[in-house]
DNA sequence: TGCCAGGCCGGGT
DNA sequence: ACCCGGCATGGC
């Protein structure tokens, strides 16, 4: 962890923390809600997801057995605001079914499983890909797994840290091979990357070097703040 | 007004 | 092994 890359990653983290402060992720009350939120937030704005979660709570179906019981069309109606509501209703049912069958709806039993076994299991569930699986492991299970999303890729790219290969696992290794494997650190780091990603010109100006996504832009921004 | 948000799946090359 | 269309609402 004493190499140049780990130093840069720690410096980026420190600057993000200085500028944005704690992000309080995941914004959910308990792990099952985190897992549901992880599915609902796929390619969706969190504000839209919040409404869906609230609707699920008000309808008293934010529990695995209820998600299995409720008719799919009715479930889709409750999560309408999340977008892709029909697809996501199918995904929630697939996840709730798996949770019951494999772990008897027990979070303790589920997260007692080693990550090297649990992650592939999650990936086998319809609707759960790498980012969603890792969000569940980190934010619901507090496992030291770094979550990679579109923002994270863009930011690393712009800092000149694009890994060879350029696949999900390649980006993930950048963090996991060069930082202490601490869930709290990974939690805050990923949330901060999303915060700065939202805050910047991102897609509309992919070559912008002055904005806060670049090494220099971020540095200057933190300096202004002080 | 159009573009984008804390992706994933399935089918086609 | 990649590429692409489909899935969809709400906010700026």
- From CA A42, how far away is CA A124, in angstroms rounded? 17
Distance A184 CA to C9 C1' (A): 32
Nucleotide nearest to A48 (CA to C1'): C10
User: Is it true that domain A4-24+147-225 has CATH number 1.10.1670?
Assistant: yes
C-alpha angle A167-A152-A176 in degrees, rounded to nearest 5 = 70
Domain limits, chain A: 4-24+147-225, 31-140
Q: How confident is the model at residue A208, as a pLDDT?
A: 55
- From CA A101, how far away is CA A194, in angstroms rounded? 34
Q: Is the CB of A45 under 7 A from strand C?
A: yes
Task: State pTM to two decimals.
Answer: 0.94
What percent of chain A lies above the pLDDT cut of 90?
Answer: 78
- From CA A33, how far away is CA A52, in angstroms rounded? 11
CB A128 within 8 A of CB A143: no
* Mean pLDDT computed over A14-43: 94
Is the Cα dihedral A100, A75, A136, A119 positive or negative?
positive
Confidence at A34, pLDDT banded by 50, 70, 90: very high
Is the Cα dihedral A34, A39, A44, A48 positive or negative?
negative
Q: Is the CB of A132 under 7 A from strand B?
A: yes
Distance A144 CA to B3 C1' (A): 35
**CATH number for region A31-140:** 1.10.340.30
Common-topology check for domains A4-24+147-225 and A31-140: no
Distance A37 CA to B5 C1' (A): 14
* Mean pLDDT computed over A6-26: 92
pLDDT digits (tens, 9 = 90+) for A185-216: 999 999 999 998 888 765 555 555 555 555 66
Nucleotide nearest to A87 (CA to C1'): C7
Q: Is the CB of A86 under 7 A from strand C?
A: yes
Nucleotide nearest to A47 (CA to C1'): C10
């Amino acid at each position: 962890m004493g190499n140049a890359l780990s130093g840069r990653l720690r410096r980026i983290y420190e600057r993000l923390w200085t500028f944005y402060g704690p992000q309080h992720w995941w914004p959910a009350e308990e792990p099952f809600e985190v897992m549901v939120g992880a599915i609902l937030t796929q390619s969706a704005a969190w504000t839209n997801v919040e409404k869906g979660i609230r609707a699920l709570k008000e309808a008293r179906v934010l529990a695995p057995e209820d998600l299995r019981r409720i008719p799919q069309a009715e479930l889709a109606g409750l999560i309408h605001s999340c977008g892709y509501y029909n697809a996501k209703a199918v995904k929630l049912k697939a996840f709730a079914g798996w949770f019951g069958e494999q772990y008897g709806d027990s979070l303790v039993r589920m997260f007692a499983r080693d990550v090297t076994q649990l992650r592939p299991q999650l990936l086998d569930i319809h609707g759960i890909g790498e980012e969603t699986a890792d969000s569940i492991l980190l934010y619901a299970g507090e496992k030291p797994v770094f979550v990679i999303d579109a923002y994270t890729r863009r930011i690393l790219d712009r800092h000149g840290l694009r890994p060879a290969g350029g696949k999900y696992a390649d980006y993930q290794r950048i963090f996991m091979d060069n930082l202490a494997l601490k869930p709290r650190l990974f939690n805050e780091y990923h949330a901060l990357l999303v915060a700065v990603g939202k805050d910047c010109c991102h897609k509309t100006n992919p070559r912008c070097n002055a904005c806060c996504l670049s090494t220099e832009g971020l540095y200057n921004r933190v300096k202004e703040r002080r």
